Amino acid sequence: MFEQLELNVEVLLADMAAERNAQRQSWFLLYHRELAGELRAEVSLPTAMDNGRVLRWKERIILPTIQFEPVVTPLVEGDNGDDEQSFEIRAL
């Protein structure tokens, strides 16, 4: 009487993953800090890369320059400035 259609979840999930990956974009936050008290930054979207280097940008959003007082941090006697910091990097 009623015919039930088959739902192929594997095909559906593969299609969803392909669609999500096609829309994924990686934006870069680029910044430069001057010791004299200036921070310049931009958020940019590359269109072409070669061996880890950006060849062309699709969009570059230049952020307002931030002015700040220069910071001078004196070394503590006996401190060579070689403090180790550890952190974990995980793929998303």
Whether 76 is covered by a domain: the verdict is no
Whether 36 is covered by a domain: the verdict is yes
Instruction: Give tens-digit pLDDT for 1-52.
Output: 556 566 666 776 677 677 666 677 888 899 998 877 899 999 999 988 888 8
Whether 54 is covered by a domain: the verdict is yes
Whether 39 is covered by a domain: the verdict is yes
Whether the pTM exceeds 0.75: the reply is: no
Using alpha carbons, select from 53, 31, 27, 34 the residue that is nearest to residue 42. 31
Whether 7 is covered by a domain: the verdict is no
Whether 63 is covered by a domain: the verdict is yes
Whether 51 is covered by a domain: the verdict is yes
Number of domains in the chain: 1
Q: Which domain range does residue 45 map to?
A: 24-67
Q: Is 42 left (phi over 0), alpha (psi -120 to 50) or beta?
A: beta
